[in-house]
Amino acid sequence: MTGSTMNRQGRQTQPHAAPANVNVTQTEMITGNRGLQIEEGLIFDHGKLDVTGVDFAVPDDTVEHRLGNFARTSVIGLPGLSEPEAVRHYVRLSQKNFSIDTGLYPLGSCTMKHNPRLNEKMARLDGFMNLHPMQPHKTVQGALELIDTLADWLKVLTGMPAVAMSPKAGAHGELCGLMAIRACLEDRGDARKVVLVSDSAHGTNPATAATCGYAVEAIPSTRDGRVDLAALKARLGPDVAAFMLTNPNTCGLFEREIIEISEALHEAGALLYCDGANFNAIVGRVRPGDLGVDAMHINLHKTFSTPHGGGGPGAGPVVLSEALAPYVPLPYIKHELGEYSLVEIEEEAVEEGGKPFGRLSAFHGQMGMFVRSLSYMMSHGSDGLRQVSDDAVLSANYVAARLKDHMSQSFEGPCMHEVLFDDRFLKDTGVSTLDFAKAMIDEGYHPMTVYFPLVVSGAMLIEPTETESKESLDQFIDTLIALTERAKSGTAEEAFHQAPTMTPRRRLDETQAARNPVLRWLPDTPTAQAAE
Amino acid sequence: MSDLRYTEQHEWVRGEGEVATVGISAYAAEQLGDVVYVELPEAGRQVEQSGEIAVVESVKAASEIYAPIAGEIIEVNVSLEEDPAIVNGDPTGKGWFVKLKLKDPEELKTLMDQEAYATYVEGLE
């Protein structure tokens, strides 16, 4: 490997070699465990091939199978564990997790808010939990009604006439929205080639546009962190299919000129896709339909409090404008003569005047997430949902107000539900954004989003959410202030470089992981395979 | 290296007669952080000025590399595909991306020289 492996402004990605003068006290443990933090190996390292926790009858190998060439000829090599061994393995791994149930999780743009237990109770009702998507419609009327009711809430909250419920996550929702846009433009006989994205966009925006076959071009931000309207207008033309914009954007700022943006787009024959990842800041205050948005995904797993981030599947319904409504993908719910059904085939949709662009997934969407989201909506009511947004914005502004004299806030003035800092306050300290984030881990905090958005240097994007108490926010803020002072004192640079020191693993080598990824476990010795 | 010319997107270009070598500046390499992947174009392709010629991915972000001036791609630095770290180690030397046969070598003069680029970068910080 050549040359320098770190940079001052950018992200330092390789662990520093431990220098002799820093005394990180770490006694060599006999077991590798650290107190009750158990050093847990891979399940393949535990398992023995001749052990199993389940009593299977030995198959009668005189029975003829019909697998032909597909019959396995070698030992499968799955680890065999008893039930207590399997339970311990996964419990030990789970104890290494940090979750919203463990502590404050200020991950900007990811909205790690509390998942109310009432939602869980509702999702475990027998009539929802034990359904199969292939049951006859007559036997699942309640479930279909629930999807329809949720769809109605989403349409009312966004002021949009139609919604596609099947997308399984935010990025899947983006795909759905852009496919609807493409279908609409092609239907007009005006297929276009280019999708514009803001330079502060989530990475999924350009990725989605590219996946849909569009060339992607970025529109710059102004110095106040918002879309450069003049640059956007200058770029519009007959080749532009759509503009993808997040509002509030990833700098935590409301795009004040969004109506002018949507009008300019529509005048140029293009459509506006809104990334709804930050919808949680404006629910009950702003309806995207009133802003001229043509399609927007809603992360139920952020805005409407369903678990996510490894804790549960996402769900990304997409609301659509009048122009895009006919292209809503199959299947969708139909309510006629007091009975709910799913429109599953194109002919049926066409009979109703629809032009579905196809099907995004086998079934109708994430039922479990639908139950939880509707439970959240109905338990809060529309006024409660507005209060949630207001409190999320208040929390972020409280963090901003208390930190702005200690850290460097990127854009002056009030923010929405998240506040963006950059690394100017660390200038000449030798401490990078990454060092700072790692030091937070040692203090028991999950770091904020770092190095995103890309429009500022060494970004730190903090989203506290509405579910943190003032005491919890104060403790968090006090920790950041103390870390800031430590960094500025000039006496702790090396300690920052060494962080985290209290974790099961020290700082990971991200560069090495990206350049030489090891994606598959292989046995040290091929005995597993040879055991047959 | 005073023979280099620069763009505002932080590409450098070194002209030698009709042929120009293109790469990214030391500042760009530092900003990107450790480069982990480089996607290069195929030789023989015609590119316009500011047309995309390569993609560079670091642990921080993926960025496009644009042609500083128009021409035909006559050679690409395949060693970057094997060892992308060269971009960080020697951005203006062994870390070059492509060689272009220029449509109009005079166009080079429209780009920033070393001094102008240094001033430009200073303004960014």
pLDDT over 80 (residue B32): yes
What's the whole-model pTM score?
0.88
Nearest to B32 among A4, A10, A12 (CB): A10
A290-310 residues labelled b (16+ CB within 10 A) or e (exposed): ebbbbbbbbbbbbbbbbbbbe
Taking the domains of chain B in order of start, what are their residue ranges?
Answer: 4-103
pLDDT at A516: 87
Strands B71-76 and B62-66: what pairing? unpaired
What SS3 string covers B52-102?
EEEEEEECCCEEEEECCCCEEEEEECCHHHHCCHHHHHCCCCCCCCEEEEE
Q: What's the DSSP call for residue A326?
A: G
Is A193 in the B-facing interface, judged by CB distances under 8 Å? no
Is A517 in the B-facing interface, judged by CB distances under 8 Å? no
Q: What is the least distance, in Å, from the CA of A6 to any CA of chain B?
A: 7
Is A10 in the B-facing interface, judged by CB distances under 8 Å? yes
Let me know: does A245 contact A274? Beta carbons within 8 Å. yes
Phi, psi for residue A436 in degrees, rounded to 5: -65, -45
Q: What is the pLDDT of residues B67-95, one digit of tens each?
A: 999 999 999 999 999 999 999 999 999 99
Let me know: does A119 contact A376? Beta carbons within 8 Å. yes
pLDDT at A454: 87
Which amino acid is located at A199 in the chain?
Answer: D
Taking the domains of chain A in order of start, what are their residue ranges?
Answer: 119-375, 382-515
How is domain A119-375 classified at the CATH fold level? Aspartate Aminotransferase; domain 2 (3.40.640)
ipTM for this prediction: 0.78
- Give residues 62 to 121 of B whose Cβ lies within 8 Å of A: 62, 83-86, 88-90, 94
pLDDT band at B34 (very low <50, low <70, confident <90, very high): very high
Look at B88 and A2 and tell me if their CB atoms are within 8 Å. Answer: yes
Nearest to A5 among B31, B34, B83 (CB): B34
How is domain B4-103 classified at the CATH fold level? OB fold (Dihydrolipoamide Acetyltransferase, E2P) (2.40.50)
Look at A2 and B31 and tell me if their CB atoms are within 8 Å. Answer: no
CATH 3.40.50.150, domain A382-515, yes or no: no
Q: What is the least distance, in Å, from the CA of A101 to any CA of chain B?
A: 29
Look at A5 and B61 and tell me if their CB atoms are within 8 Å. Answer: no
Q: Is A215 left (phi over 0), alpha (psi -120 to 50) or beta?
A: beta
Let me know: does A424 contact A457? Beta carbons within 8 Å. yes
d(CA A95, CA A78): 24
- Residues of chain A with confidence (pLDDT) below 70: 1-27, 310-312, 525-532
Nearest alpha carbon to residue A200 among A510, A465, A434, A451? A451
Q: What's the DSSP call for residue A336?
A: E
pLDDT at A313: 85
Q: What percent of chain B has pLDDT over 70?
A: 98
A500-518 residues labelled b (16+ CB within 10 A) or e (exposed): bbebeebbebbbbebbeee
Its sign, for the CA torsion B55, B58, B62, B67, is negative
